[in-house]
Protein backbone atom coordinates (compact mmCIF):
# COMPACT_ATOMS: atom_id res chain seq x y z
CA UNK A 1 0.00 0.00 0.00
CA UNK A 2 1.12 3.60 -0.50
CA UNK A 3 2.43 5.67 2.39
CA UNK A 4 0.23 8.19 4.17
CA UNK A 5 1.25 11.72 5.02
CA UNK A 6 1.32 12.60 8.74
CA UNK A 7 -2.06 13.46 10.22
CA UNK A 8 -1.82 17.01 11.52
CA UNK A 9 -4.35 18.77 13.73
CA UNK A 10 -5.95 20.59 10.82
CA UNK A 11 -6.77 17.31 9.16
CA UNK A 12 -8.04 15.36 12.17
CA UNK A 13 -11.56 16.67 12.02
CA UNK A 14 -11.77 15.88 8.32
CA UNK A 15 -10.30 12.39 8.59
CA UNK A 16 -13.64 10.70 7.97
CA UNK A 17 -13.85 12.23 4.51
CA UNK A 18 -10.26 11.61 3.39
CA UNK A 19 -9.05 8.97 0.96
CA UNK A 20 -8.83 5.18 0.85
CA UNK A 21 -12.35 4.75 -0.47
CA UNK A 22 -11.95 1.11 -1.52
CA UNK A 23 -10.51 0.19 1.88
CA UNK A 24 -13.30 2.11 3.63
CA UNK A 25 -15.95 0.31 1.58
CA UNK A 26 -14.58 -3.13 2.45
CA UNK A 27 -14.38 -2.28 6.13
CA UNK A 28 -17.89 -0.81 6.16
CA UNK A 29 -19.17 -3.98 4.47
CA UNK A 30 -17.51 -6.09 7.17
CA UNK A 31 -19.26 -4.07 9.88
CA UNK A 32 -22.65 -4.38 8.22
CA UNK A 33 -22.29 -8.12 7.61
CA UNK A 34 -21.07 -8.78 11.14
CA UNK A 35 -24.24 -7.13 12.43
CA UNK A 36 -26.36 -9.30 10.13
CA UNK A 37 -24.67 -12.39 11.53
CA UNK A 38 -25.32 -11.20 15.10
CA UNK A 39 -21.61 -11.35 15.85
CA UNK A 40 -21.50 -7.74 17.08
CA UNK A 41 -22.12 -6.52 20.63
CA UNK A 42 -24.31 -3.44 20.98
CA UNK A 43 -22.08 -0.42 20.24
CA UNK A 44 -18.88 -2.09 21.41
CA UNK A 45 -16.16 -3.99 19.46
CA UNK A 46 -13.93 -2.56 16.76
CA UNK A 47 -12.45 -3.30 13.33
CA UNK A 48 -9.34 -1.57 11.98
CA UNK A 49 -7.28 -1.56 8.79
CA UNK A 50 -3.74 -0.24 8.29
CA UNK A 51 -3.35 2.04 5.28
CA UNK A 52 0.34 2.97 5.24
CA UNK A 53 3.43 0.86 4.67
CA UNK A 54 4.51 0.39 8.27
CA UNK A 55 0.95 -0.16 9.47
CA UNK A 56 0.85 2.69 11.97
CA UNK A 57 -1.92 4.69 10.31
CA UNK A 58 -5.25 2.96 10.25
CA UNK A 59 -8.99 3.24 9.74
CA UNK A 60 -11.32 2.31 12.61
CA UNK A 61 -14.99 2.69 13.54
CA UNK A 62 -16.13 5.84 15.35
CA UNK A 63 -16.93 5.78 19.04
CA UNK A 64 -20.03 3.75 19.91
CA UNK A 65 -21.63 3.62 16.46
CA UNK A 66 -23.73 0.52 15.83
CA UNK A 67 -22.16 -1.79 13.25
CA UNK A 68 -25.37 -1.85 11.21
CA UNK A 69 -25.19 1.92 10.61
CA UNK A 70 -21.54 2.37 9.70
CA UNK A 71 -20.75 3.91 6.31
CA UNK A 72 -17.41 4.20 4.55
CA UNK A 73 -17.10 7.92 5.32
CA UNK A 74 -17.71 7.38 9.05
CA UNK A 75 -14.40 5.61 9.59
CA UNK A 76 -11.72 7.49 11.51
CA UNK A 77 -8.16 7.75 10.24
CA UNK A 78 -5.79 7.45 13.21
CA UNK A 79 -2.05 7.46 13.73
CA UNK A 80 -0.88 4.86 16.26
CA UNK A 81 2.07 7.11 17.14
CA UNK A 82 -0.01 10.21 17.81
CA UNK A 83 -0.04 10.85 21.61
CA UNK A 84 -2.90 13.33 21.20
CA UNK A 85 -5.39 10.92 19.62
CA UNK A 86 -7.71 10.84 22.63
CA UNK A 87 -7.84 14.66 22.64
CA UNK A 88 -9.53 14.73 19.21
CA UNK A 89 -13.13 15.96 18.99
CA UNK A 90 -13.92 12.66 17.29
CA UNK A 91 -11.74 10.55 19.59
CA UNK A 92 -12.24 6.79 19.31
CA UNK A 93 -13.42 4.57 22.13
CA UNK A 94 -10.71 4.18 24.77
CA UNK A 95 -10.55 0.42 24.33
CA UNK A 96 -10.41 0.79 20.53
CA UNK A 97 -7.35 2.99 20.92
CA UNK A 98 -5.86 0.77 23.62
CA UNK A 99 -6.13 -2.48 21.67
CA UNK A 100 -5.98 -1.52 17.99
CA UNK A 101 -3.61 1.40 18.47
CA UNK A 102 -1.17 -0.85 20.30
CA UNK A 103 -1.37 -3.61 17.71
CA UNK A 104 -0.87 -1.27 14.76
CA UNK A 105 2.00 0.44 16.58
CA UNK A 106 3.80 -2.78 17.50
CA UNK A 107 2.82 -5.34 14.81
CA UNK A 108 3.43 -4.02 11.30
CA UNK A 109 2.26 -7.33 9.81
CA UNK A 110 -1.18 -6.96 11.42
CA UNK A 111 -2.84 -5.10 8.56
CA UNK A 112 -6.50 -5.78 9.36
CA UNK A 113 -7.58 -6.41 12.96
CA UNK A 114 -11.16 -7.51 13.73
CA UNK A 115 -12.27 -7.86 17.35
CA UNK A 116 -15.67 -9.15 18.46
CA UNK A 117 -17.35 -10.95 21.35
CA UNK A 118 -19.17 -13.40 19.08
CA UNK A 119 -21.05 -16.05 21.03
CA UNK A 120 -19.24 -19.28 20.27
CA UNK A 121 -15.72 -17.87 20.14
CA UNK A 122 -16.41 -16.18 23.48
CA UNK A 123 -17.72 -19.43 24.96
CA UNK A 124 -14.45 -21.01 23.79
CA UNK A 125 -12.55 -18.14 25.43
CA UNK A 126 -14.39 -18.93 28.67
CA UNK A 127 -13.19 -22.53 28.89
CA UNK A 128 -10.17 -23.51 30.97
CA UNK A 129 -8.67 -24.86 27.75
CA UNK A 130 -9.51 -22.31 25.05
CA UNK A 131 -7.69 -24.04 22.20
CA UNK A 132 -9.78 -25.06 19.19
CA UNK A 133 -9.01 -28.71 18.31
CA UNK A 134 -9.18 -29.83 14.66
CA UNK A 135 -12.40 -31.84 14.64
CA UNK A 136 -13.65 -30.73 11.19
CA UNK A 137 -12.53 -28.54 8.30
CA UNK A 138 -13.42 -25.19 9.85
CA UNK A 139 -11.49 -25.83 13.05
CA UNK A 140 -8.61 -27.49 11.17
CA UNK A 141 -8.12 -24.21 9.25
CA UNK A 142 -6.61 -22.76 12.42
CA UNK A 143 -4.37 -25.65 13.47
CA UNK A 144 -1.18 -24.08 14.86
CA UNK A 145 -2.49 -20.74 13.61
CA UNK A 146 -4.28 -19.48 16.70
CA UNK A 147 -2.93 -18.46 20.09
CA UNK A 148 -4.69 -18.16 23.42
CA UNK A 149 -4.33 -15.24 25.79
CA UNK A 150 -4.24 -16.76 29.28
CA UNK A 151 -3.68 -13.51 31.19
CA UNK A 152 -6.81 -11.35 30.80
CA UNK A 153 -6.22 -8.13 32.69
CA UNK A 154 -9.48 -6.23 32.26
CA UNK A 155 -10.66 -3.69 29.69
CA UNK A 156 -8.36 -3.34 26.69
CA UNK A 157 -6.78 -0.03 27.61
CA UNK A 158 -3.24 0.73 26.43
CA UNK A 159 -1.33 -1.50 28.85
CA UNK A 160 -3.62 -4.44 28.11
CA UNK A 161 -3.45 -3.69 24.38
CA UNK A 162 0.34 -3.72 24.43
CA UNK A 163 0.32 -7.06 26.24
CA UNK A 164 -2.04 -8.52 23.63
CA UNK A 165 0.14 -7.16 20.83
CA UNK A 166 3.08 -9.15 22.19
CA UNK A 167 1.09 -12.34 21.61
CA UNK A 168 0.82 -11.52 17.90
CA UNK A 169 4.56 -11.34 17.19
CA UNK A 170 4.45 -14.43 14.95
CA UNK A 171 3.08 -13.37 11.52
CA UNK A 172 1.67 -16.90 11.15
CA UNK A 173 -0.93 -16.14 13.83
CA UNK A 174 -4.39 -15.68 12.34
CA UNK A 175 -6.55 -15.69 15.47
CA UNK A 176 -6.07 -14.56 19.06
CA UNK A 177 -8.49 -16.24 21.45
CA UNK A 178 -8.72 -13.64 24.18
CA UNK A 179 -9.34 -15.66 27.34
CA UNK A 180 -12.30 -14.38 29.41
CA UNK A 181 -12.92 -11.81 26.67
CA UNK A 182 -13.57 -12.67 23.01
CA UNK A 183 -11.70 -13.18 19.76
CA UNK A 184 -9.46 -11.20 17.42
CA UNK A 185 -8.86 -12.06 13.75
CA UNK A 186 -5.94 -10.83 11.65
CA UNK A 187 -5.45 -10.63 7.90
CA UNK A 188 -3.60 -8.84 5.14
CA UNK A 189 -6.91 -7.50 3.82
CA UNK A 190 -10.40 -6.95 5.21
CA UNK A 191 -11.64 -9.91 3.17
CA UNK A 192 -8.98 -12.25 4.52
CA UNK A 193 -9.46 -11.19 8.14
CA UNK A 194 -13.25 -11.37 7.89
CA UNK A 195 -13.11 -14.80 6.27
CA UNK A 196 -10.99 -16.01 9.18
CA UNK A 197 -13.32 -14.42 11.73
CA UNK A 198 -16.32 -16.09 10.11
CA UNK A 199 -14.79 -19.55 9.90
CA UNK A 200 -13.31 -19.42 13.38
CA UNK A 201 -16.75 -18.65 14.78
CA UNK A 202 -18.18 -21.57 12.79
CA UNK A 203 -15.41 -23.86 13.99
CA UNK A 204 -15.99 -22.79 17.61
CA UNK A 205 -19.73 -23.34 17.19
CA UNK A 206 -19.21 -26.86 15.89
CA UNK A 207 -16.77 -27.63 18.70
CA UNK A 208 -19.09 -26.32 21.44
CA UNK A 209 -22.00 -28.32 20.04
CA UNK A 210 -19.84 -31.42 19.77
CA UNK A 211 -18.89 -31.04 23.44
CA UNK A 212 -22.57 -30.78 24.33
CA UNK A 213 -23.19 -34.30 23.03
CA UNK A 214 -20.92 -35.72 25.72
CA UNK A 215 -19.52 -38.14 23.15
CA UNK A 216 -15.79 -38.63 22.40
CA UNK A 217 -14.42 -36.22 19.79
CA UNK A 218 -12.96 -37.34 16.47
CA UNK A 219 -9.78 -35.23 16.50
CA UNK A 220 -7.59 -35.18 13.40
CA UNK A 221 -3.94 -36.14 13.54
CA UNK A 222 -1.49 -33.24 13.52
CA UNK A 223 -0.39 -34.23 10.02
CA UNK A 224 -3.91 -34.24 8.62
CA UNK A 225 -4.89 -31.01 10.38
CA UNK A 226 -1.82 -29.24 8.96
CA UNK A 227 -2.61 -30.56 5.48
CA UNK A 228 -6.17 -29.24 5.70
CA UNK A 229 -4.94 -25.85 6.94
CA UNK A 230 -2.41 -25.53 4.13
CA UNK A 231 -4.90 -26.68 1.48
CA UNK A 232 -7.43 -24.08 2.62
CA UNK A 233 -4.78 -21.34 2.72
CA UNK A 234 -3.90 -22.20 -0.87
CA UNK A 235 -7.50 -22.47 -2.04
CA UNK A 236 -7.83 -19.78 -4.71
CA UNK A 237 -9.67 -16.52 -4.06
CA UNK A 238 -11.95 -17.75 -1.27
CA UNK A 239 -11.68 -14.69 0.95
CA UNK A 240 -11.84 -12.31 -2.02
CA UNK A 241 -14.97 -13.98 -3.35
CA UNK A 242 -16.54 -14.07 0.11
CA UNK A 243 -16.11 -10.31 0.48
CA UNK A 244 -17.20 -9.68 -3.12
CA UNK A 245 -20.45 -11.58 -2.54
CA UNK A 246 -21.10 -9.76 0.74
CA UNK A 247 -20.74 -6.42 -1.04
CA UNK A 248 -22.99 -7.57 -3.87
CA UNK A 249 -25.76 -8.38 -1.39
CA UNK A 250 -25.25 -5.09 0.46
CA UNK A 251 -25.24 -3.18 -2.83
CA UNK A 252 -28.74 -4.51 -3.40
CA UNK A 253 -30.12 -4.30 0.14
CA UNK A 254 -28.39 -1.35 1.84
CA UNK A 255 -26.10 0.47 -0.61
CA UNK A 256 -25.63 3.42 1.75
CA UNK A 257 -22.76 1.52 3.38
CA UNK A 258 -20.59 2.83 0.51
CA UNK A 259 -21.38 6.48 1.28
Q: How many residues in the chain?
A: 259
Residue 149 CA, distance from chain mean position: 16
| pLDDT tens digits along 124-149 | 999 999 999 999 999 999 999 999 99
> Judging by DSSP bridges, how do beta strands 175-178 and 182-187 pair with one another?
antiparallel
Asked if the structure places residue 1 within a domain, the reply is no
Decide: 75 and 24 in contact? Cβ < 8 Å. yes
**Rounded CA gap, 24 and 73, in Å?**
7
Residue 91 belongs to domain spanning: 9-258
Could you tell me which residues are beta bridge partners of residue 183? 116, 177
What pLDDT shows up at residue 19? Answer: 81
The stretches in the chain having pLDDT less than 50 are: 1-17
Asked if the structure places residue 4 within a domain, the reply is no
Asked if the structure places residue 163 within a domain, the reply is yes
Domains contained in the chain, number: 1
Measure the CA dihedral 145/171/59/8, to 10°.
160
The CATH number for 43's domain is 3.40.225.10
Q: Which of 114, 35, 100, 110 is nearest to 71 (CA)?
A: 35
What contacts 249, CB < 8 A, 6 or more positions away?
none
Asked if the structure places residue 95 within a domain, the reply is yes
**Rounded CA gap, 239 and 247, in Å?**
12
Asked if the structure places residue 3 within a domain, the reply is no
Amino acid sequence: MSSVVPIDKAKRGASATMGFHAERVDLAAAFRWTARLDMHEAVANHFSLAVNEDGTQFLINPNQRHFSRICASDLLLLDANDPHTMERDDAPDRTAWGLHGSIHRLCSHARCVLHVHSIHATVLASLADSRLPPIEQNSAMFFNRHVVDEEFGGLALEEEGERCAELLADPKTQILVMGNHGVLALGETVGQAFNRLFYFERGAQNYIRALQTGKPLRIMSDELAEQVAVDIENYPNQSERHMSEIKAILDSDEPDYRN
